Chain A
Amino acid sequence: MSRRQGAIALVAGGVVWLAVVAVGLAAIMDYDNRPGAAAHAPIHWPPDSRIVPAADGPTLVMLAHPRCDCTRASVGELAELLARVRIRPRVIVVFIKPGRVGPEWEKSALWQMAAEIPGVTVVRDDQGLEARRFGVETSGQTLLYGADGGLLFAGGATGARGKAGNNVGRSTLVSLLNGERPATASTPVFGCPLFGPADAAEPDGDHIHGS
C-alpha cells in the first residue's frame, strides 16, 4: 500500500470510527432522556387509599421501585427540595413490592436512603396496589396534593434518567411549596417501570406497611 493509500485508509477508518461512536453516544442520550409512562393521577386524593394524607397541609407522595438505580437521583432531589421549602409537606415515599419476590426484597439501599431523610415516611406497597390507585407506572413519580386534597403536581424530580441536579420538576415543587405559581404542573418522569408483565395485581387486602 502506498503512502497516499495508507493516508486515505486512515482517514476513512477515522470517519467510520467517529460515526460508529456518535451513533452509540446518541443511543445512550436517547435512552437517558426518554421519559417513562406518565401517571394518570386522580385530581383528588383517592378516597380508597390506605395512605393517610396530611390533615392541614400539602402531602407529597413519591412512588418508587426499591431497586431502580435511576431513582436514587429522584430521592436525592427529594432531600434537596425539602431543604429549600417554607411549607413542609407530609412526605411519603412508597416502595412497591411485587408479589413474586422474597422477604425483605424491598429493603434496599434506596429504601434506606429515603428513610434517612428527616420527616419522610417510608412505606411498602404490596403488589403495587397504591401505585395503581394513584395511576402511577414509573419509578420516581412524584405527586403533590394540596391541603384540600387537590392535585397540584404530577411528574418527576429529575431532568433525565438517573441525573441529579437542577431540573424543572424540583424547582416546580419548590415553587408550589413556597406559595408561588410555577409555569407548569407536570414534568416528565424518568425511571424503571414499576410493573412488569408478570406483576398482575391480586385482590385488595392489607397492602401498606410502614418501615
Chain B
Amino acid sequence: MAAEAIITASHAPAAALDPRAEALFLEHQHEIYCRTDRVFGHLMWIQWLAGIAFALIVAPRTWMGSTSQVHLHVWAAVLLGGAISLPPAVLAFLRPGKTSTRYVIASAQMMMSALLIHVTGGRIALSCLRFPRLPRVLP
C-alpha cells in the first residue's frame, strides 16, 4: 500500500505539487531563520559578558608607577561590546527571520571578533569562531 502510494504520488502532475512544496519549504526555512536568530540573540549578550570577563582576566588595570586605573580594554569590553551586541540582540527578538536581522548579526559577529582579539591580546584563533554563518547569510 505504501509502495503504491509512493508510485501514485510520483506520477501526480508536477505543476500541482510544486507551489505547495515551495510554500512548505519557505515556511520551514523561515522557522529555521527565526529560531537561529533567537539563538544568536542570546549569544550576543553571552559573548558580551565573556568579553568583559576576558578583559578583566587578561588586563584589568593599567599602571603608571605606583598608581593604576581601569584598563581601556575593560571599558571597551563594557561599552563597545555593548554597542556591538545590543542592536543585533534587539533585532533578533523583534524582527526574527528578516534578512536585515541576519546581516546585522553577521556584522556584529565580525566586529565582536575584532574586539575580542584586542581584549585577549591578539589571540587570532578566536577569529575563526566568528565567520561560520557568513557564507549562508550573504547571498
Contact = CB atoms under 8 A, between A and B. Distances in A.
Contact of B83 (A10, A20, A31, A99): A20
B72 A31 contact: yes
A192 B121 contact: no
B100 A192 contact: no
Interface string A10-52: 1001100110110011011101100000000000000000000
A69 B84 contact: no
A193 B65 contact: yes
A20 B104 CA distance: 14
A199 interface: yes
A162 B64 contact: no
B34 interface: no
B121 A163 contact: yes
A70 interface: yes
Interface stretch (B19-27, B37-45, B111-119): B111-119
Contact of B73 (A13, A20, A28): A28
Given A25-B111, A67-B61, A69-B58, A196 B67 contact: yes
Contacts of A198: 65-67
Interface residues of B, number: 29
A28 B114 CA distance: 10
Contact of B66 (A24, A27, A31, A199): A199
Contacts of B49: none
A203 B109 CA distance: 55
A195 B61 CA distance: 15
A148 B63 CA distance: 35
Contacts of A192: 62-64
Residue among A28, A72, A199 with most chain B CB within 10 A: A28
A14 B106 CA distance: 13
A164 B60 CA distance: 18
B64 A196 contact: yes
Contact of A160 (B66, B80, B115, B122): B122
A66 B9 CA distance: 77
B28 interface: no
Contacts of A79: none
A65 interface: yes
A14 B88 CA distance: 10
Interface of B: 58-68, 71-73, 76, 79-80, 83-84, 87, 100, 104, 107, 111, 114-115, 118, 121-122
Given A20-B83, A68-B62, A195-B64, 5 more contacts: A98-B66, A160-B122, A192-B62, A196-B65, A199-B66
Interface of A: 10, 13-14, 17-18, 20-21, 24-25, 27-29, 31-32, 65, 67-70, 72-73, 98-101, 128, 139, 160, 162-165, 192-199
25 contacts: A14-B104, A17-B87, A21-B84, A21-B111, A25-B115, A28-B80, A28-B118, A32-B118, A67-B61, A69-B58, A69-B59, A69-B60, A69-B71, A70-B59, A98-B66, A160-B122, A162-B121, A163-B122, A192-B64, A195-B65, A196-B64, A196-B66, A197-B65, A198-B65, A198-B67
